[in-house]
């Protein structure tokens, strides 16, 4: 697994050993970022990476110019691997890791007044996490108007078309992997 593009492009990332992590395949990650960069600017936005695992999605965004990234994962091993990957890519100062489950990470970010222009959500497949995470994310105050949310999921676990104010803007399939794109429909959304 590697960083596809940007300042850390080509660098390989560590993966937690003996841990139930399903890293996003490089070709899926490349397709997702091609879609994102054609629709949005990644430059100078804050990113939230939920169920971060290796941190690959948030680190890819940092490599492509995102201002900062908060990585949320409940696993202590994932936390160590994310820190290692941030150090290896030279992006340590722009990243912060919160060891928590996704809902708690959202609550912590809200309590700290953090706001994000982009969110990656890559939970374990077929365990109900897509819906259980999109609902509190949509109700929180951490998304700026116009923020995008990318959800990686199995084809059997697509989220709803709307979690107001989040609205589905597209879906893609890559083998057995589904990717859904949402956008915050706040008053200032473009």
| CATH for 152 | 3.40.50.150
pTM of the model: 0.90
**Total structural domains in the chain?**
1
Q: Per-residue pLDDT tens for 20-47?
A: 555 667 788 889 999 999 999 899 999 9
Residue-averaged pLDDT of the chain: 89
The residue range of the domain holding 57 is 26-184
- 99: tokens are 């060891």
Q: Is residue 125 part of a domain?
A: yes
Pairing of strands 143-154, 177-184: antiparallel
If one counts every other C-beta atom within 10 angstroms of the C-beta of residue 121, the result is: 24
Asked if the bond preceding 165 is cis, omega within 30° of 0, the reply is yes
Q: Is residue 138 part of a domain?
A: yes
**What share of the chain has pLDDT > 70, as a percent?**
87
Interhelix angle 102-111/129-139, nearest 10 degrees: 10
How far is Cα of residue 172 from the mean position of the Cα atoms in its chain? 16
Q: Is residue 13 part of a domain?
A: no
Band (190; pLDDT cuts 50, 70, 90): very low
3-class DSSP state of 63: helix
């Amino acid at each position: 697994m590697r960083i596809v593009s940007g300042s850390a492009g080509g660098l390989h990332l560590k993966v937690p050993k003996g841990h139930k992590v399903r890293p996003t395949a490089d070709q899926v990650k490349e397709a997702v970022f091609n879609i994102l960069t054609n629709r949005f600017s990644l430059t100078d936005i804050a990113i939230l990476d939920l169920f971060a695992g290796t941190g690959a999605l948030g680190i890819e965004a940092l490599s492509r110019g995102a201002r900062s990234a908060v990585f949320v994962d409940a696993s202590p091993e994932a936390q160590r691997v994310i820190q290692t990957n941030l150090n290896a890519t030279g992006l340590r100062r722009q990243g912060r890791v919160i060891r928590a489950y996704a809902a708690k990470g959202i609550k912590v970010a809200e309590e700290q007044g953090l706001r994000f222009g982009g969110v990656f959500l890559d939970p374990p497949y077929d365990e109900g996490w897509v819906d259980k995470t999109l609902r509190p994310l949509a109700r929180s105050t951490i998304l700026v108007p116009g923020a995008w949310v990318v959800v990686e999921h199995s084809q059997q676990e697509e989220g709803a078309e709307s979690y107001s104010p989040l609205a589905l803007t597209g879906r893609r399939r890559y083998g057995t992997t589904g990717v859904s794109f949402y956008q915050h429909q706040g008053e200032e959304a473009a």
